[in-house]
Amino acid sequence: MDKVIPIRPKKFVMFLFLFFLFANLSLAYTIERVDIECIVNPDDTINETITMIIYNNENENLSSVTYTIPQNIRNFTINSPNGVRGYSALYDQGVTKITIELEKPIMPTESTNISINCFVTDAIWTKNDVKQLILNFPIPAKNAEIKVVLPPGAVILSPQGTLLVTPSGYKITTDGKHQIIIWDLSLDKEITFTVAVKYSFVSYPSQNIIEHPAISSNLKYLLIITVFGTILLGALFVMERTSKNRIVEENKNIKNELDKLKNKLKEKEDEVKNATEIIKDLEEELNKANKNLLSKDEIIGVLNERISEYESRIKNLVDENANYKEKIDSLSEYVKALEKENKELKDKVRELNEIIQKDIELKKGVLWDFLTEDEKTIIDLIKKHGHITQKEIVEITGMSKPKVSRIISELEDRKIIRKEKIGRINKLTLTEDSKKLL
């Protein structure tokens, strides 16, 4: 970047104001309207186009026009319906004075257009990734439009909600890729109009999020809220899924534990059943012994001991059975609580899904609003056919090949469409993420 002379001292600003005012003032003609468009490039240069309507208010033919541009300019071209015979440019302390010789003079009481296209290199300063643009425009006309087109991805800084743009009275719009600042001026005297804009470039995540320039002073906050809202919803969704997986795993473990307890209970019940049958057999043997060997006390004593032993085992089995039933009841209550929690989580999942769906619908609307009509036409054709060639788009829409090629290239850069080889032909299809959002 060329070395720039600072413009902040008050005396120098006053000098510029008077210089611009009188340098463009002419008694032979008036400038009825001035339209200035400044397209800011990512490399801090500016393509500036100045279009003037010159009116000859004298009784003689007007063959030359002088206009002063308060910047060092280069690579400029001049056009007019009257033709341009030649021109001269005088550079002095960051100011360029241009004198234009017309091939066909402007007749008295007639007017013509003159357009100056130039390349400005000394109007942008960078500090800590913040860009500051300062431009001065002499406005000798009663009506003027000043338009500043920022680079793709540039966002006007707005600390505490106030856009760093001066002077006031502007409006902000977009063409789908750039933020555009416009001043419509109606004046009663000649002025020097000074524009100052502070902006920076937005860093986008690597996932498929379409880049959009800001539309209004609040869009940056809408984008920030949308990004953090998406992150929050994602975190809640992950927590919900994790909790749900945990509950499912706990349910599975509890079910396995219940199955084990039921198996043990069945085993104990079988043991009780076997012990009961053994007692019954022993009682039958005892009855037989009592009938056949009433005098044999030893046999009776042994049988009684065995009966007592089995009765004790039965009592222990009954106690264990009661304990297992208590555990089963406790686990059943726990399962009911988990089922209730699972139901609540399902309700939360449904609410989150509704929020996510609304967020997706919002993103769909935002993405669609940022598309130009030609881009929407091409995307509609791709959605309708599934895949289509660039040649077929030209034939269907009637657009020129260069125009279609440029639009296709921009849509590919923004990850909205992609080329897919089908057979021997490369056809255009929507990316997976744009299918969801369009």
The pLDDT tens digits along the chain (438 residues) read 443 334 344 444 444 444 444 444 444 788 989 999 999 999 999 999 999 999 998 888 999 999 888 877 878 799 999 999 988 888 777 788 889 999 999 999 899 999 999 999 888 989 888 999 999 888 988 899 999 999 998 999 888 778 889 999 999 999 888 999 999 999 888 888 999 999 998 764 444 434 444 444 455 555 555 555 555 555 555 555 565 676 677 778 887 888 888 888 888 888 888 888 888 888 888 777 666 655 567 778 888 888 988 888 898 999 888 888 888 888 888 888 888 888 888 888 888 888 777 766 666 656 677 788 999 999 999 999 988 999 999 999 999 999 999 999 999 998 899 988 888 888 999 998 888 777
> Is the domain defined by 373-437 classed in CATH 1.10.10.10?
yes
Question: Is 68:97 a contact under the CB 8 Å cutoff?
Answer: yes
Handedness of CA 331, 333, 336, 338 (dihedral sign): negative
Cα separation, 361 vs 180, whole angstroms: 26
Cα separation, 371 vs 351, whole angstroms: 31
Residue 159 DSSP symbol: G
**How high is the pLDDT of residue 5?**
39
The amino acid that residue 355 corresponds to is I
401-413 vs 390-397: helix crossing angle, rounded to 10 = 120
- 261 CA to centre of own chain: 55
Question: Is 337:242 a contact under the CB 8 Å cutoff?
Answer: no
Question: Is 179:154 a contact under the CB 8 Å cutoff?
Answer: yes
> Is the domain defined by 231-369 classed in CATH 1.10.287.1490?
yes
**How high is the pLDDT of residue 401?**
92
DSSP 3-state of 178: coil
**How high is the pLDDT of residue 405?**
92
DSSP 33-98: EEEEEEEE-TTS-EEEEEEEEEEE-SSS-EEEEEEEESS-EEEEEEE-TT-EEEEEEEEETTEEEE
Q: pTM for the full model?
A: 0.43
Question: Is 81:49 a contact under the CB 8 Å cutoff?
Answer: no
Paired tokens of 293: 């060997």
350-358 LR contacts (CB < 8 Å, sep 24+): 352/233, 352/236, 352/237, 352/240, 355/233, 356/233, 356/237
- Which class would CATH give 10-201? mainly beta
**How high is the pLDDT of residue 348?**
87
The domain segmentation of the chain, as residue ranges, is 10-201, 231-369, 373-437
Whole-Å CA distances, 248 to 134, 342, 353 = 63, 9, 20
